[in-house]
């Protein structure tokens, strides 16, 4: 059944992914049917198939070899993260042996947006320090992270000029802050043009998104972060206990 709120190419991409994961679409050598065969199978145009395959390729699930065809890609290294313990992406990656690199961060002291002021509970629209960065594995961008911290907590001068680390790790090391916990909303978001360009995907592609507020023991919120993750490279889970 066609779902009007989702593009046809995305629906076909989801069907292709399901077929690959079920082991019903790829041949023994990992090769997918041709575009013509797929268009006949899904009863859509070859243009729609090409767009769907492009979306699947962006997730790292298939590779397209010019003159040879489309093949299922080798299994991706994936960050499997439980959200019960607060850790930075870099710490999680190190734990599973996944090499990651951080691009040059965009650092600015500025006035907060209305949303940022609300999430940080700022009374007078005090200035904030914004740190945005792209995380890659190899040449593939896999996450885009933005931390917003009141300048009463952290200022640009507090960061090394060659800073390439994690704001969360920096705050955790600050003994004067006495951190308590983080409240995190787990969402699905569509990549806007800016984020799509940074993550080298098409605008509108779905992303995992975590919106988090970092609290101190005395109830202050000292960091508001938005983290966007490319599907296929991350698996988030939460352990829920039965209350006796």
The SS3 of residue 234 is strand
> pLDDT tens for residues 120-169?
999 877 899 999 999 998 788 989 999 999 999 999 999 988 888 889 99
Q: How far apart are CA 217 and CA 2, in angstroms?
A: 50
Angle between helices 8-21 and 46-58 in degrees, nearest 10: 60
Find the distance separating the first CA and the last CA of the chain, reported in whole Å: 43
What's the 3-state SS for 143-199? EEEEEEEECCCCCHHHCCCCCCCCHHHHHHHCCCCCEEEEEEEEEEEECCHHHHHHH
- List for the chain the helix, strand, coil content (%; round to 5): 25, 30, 40
> pLDDT tens for residues 41-73?
999 999 999 988 888 887 778 888 877 888 887
- Is 79-237 CATH 3.40.1410.10? yes
Q: 186, 65, 163: which is closest to 105 by C-alpha?
A: 163
Which pair of tokens denotes residue 165?
Answer: 């680390």
DSSP letter (8 states) at residue 104? P
What is the predicted pLDDT for the residue at 54?
Answer: 86
Q: Considering the domain 8-72 in this protein, what is its CATH number?
A: 1.10.10.10
Extents of the domains making up the chain: 8-72, 79-237
Q: How far apart are CA 142 and CA 100, in angstroms?
A: 9
What is the predicted pLDDT for the residue at 198?
Answer: 94
Q: Looking at per-residue confidence, does 34 or 99 come out higher?
A: 34
> pLDDT tens for residues 167-226?
999 999 998 999 999 999 999 999 999 999 999 888 888 899 999 999 999 999 999 999
| Total residues belonging to the chain | 244
């Amino acid at each position: 059944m066609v779902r009007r709120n989702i593009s046809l190419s995305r629906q076909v991409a989801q069907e292709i992914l399901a077929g690959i994961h079920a082991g019903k679409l790829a041949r023994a050598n990992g090769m997918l049917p041709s575009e013509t065969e797929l268009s006949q199978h899904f009863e859509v145009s070859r243009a729609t198939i090409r767009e769907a395959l492009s979306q699947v390729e962006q997730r790292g699930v298939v590779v397209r070899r010019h003159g040879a065809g489309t093949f299922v890609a080798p299994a991706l290294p994936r960050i499997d993260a439980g959200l019960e313990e607060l850790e930075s992406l870099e710490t999680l990656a190190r734990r599973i042996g996944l090499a990651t690199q951080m691009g040059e961060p965009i650092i600015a002291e500025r006035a907060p947006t209305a949303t940022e002021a609300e999430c940080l509970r700022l009374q007078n629209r005090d200035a904030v320090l914004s740190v945005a960065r792209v995380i890659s594995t190899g040449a593939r961008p896999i996450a885009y992270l933005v931390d917003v911290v009141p300048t009463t907590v952290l200022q640009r001068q507090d960061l090394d000029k060659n800073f390439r680390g994690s704001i969360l790790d920096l705050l955790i090391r600050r003994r004067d802050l006495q951190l308590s916990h983080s409240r995190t909303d787990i969402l699905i978001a569509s990549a806007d043009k800016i984020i799509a360009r940074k993550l080298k995907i098409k605008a509108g592609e779905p992303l995992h998104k975590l919106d988090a507020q970092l609290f101190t023991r005395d109830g202050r919120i000292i960091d508001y972060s938005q983290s966007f993750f490319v599907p296929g490279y991350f698996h988030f889970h939460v352990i829920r206990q039965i209350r006796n």
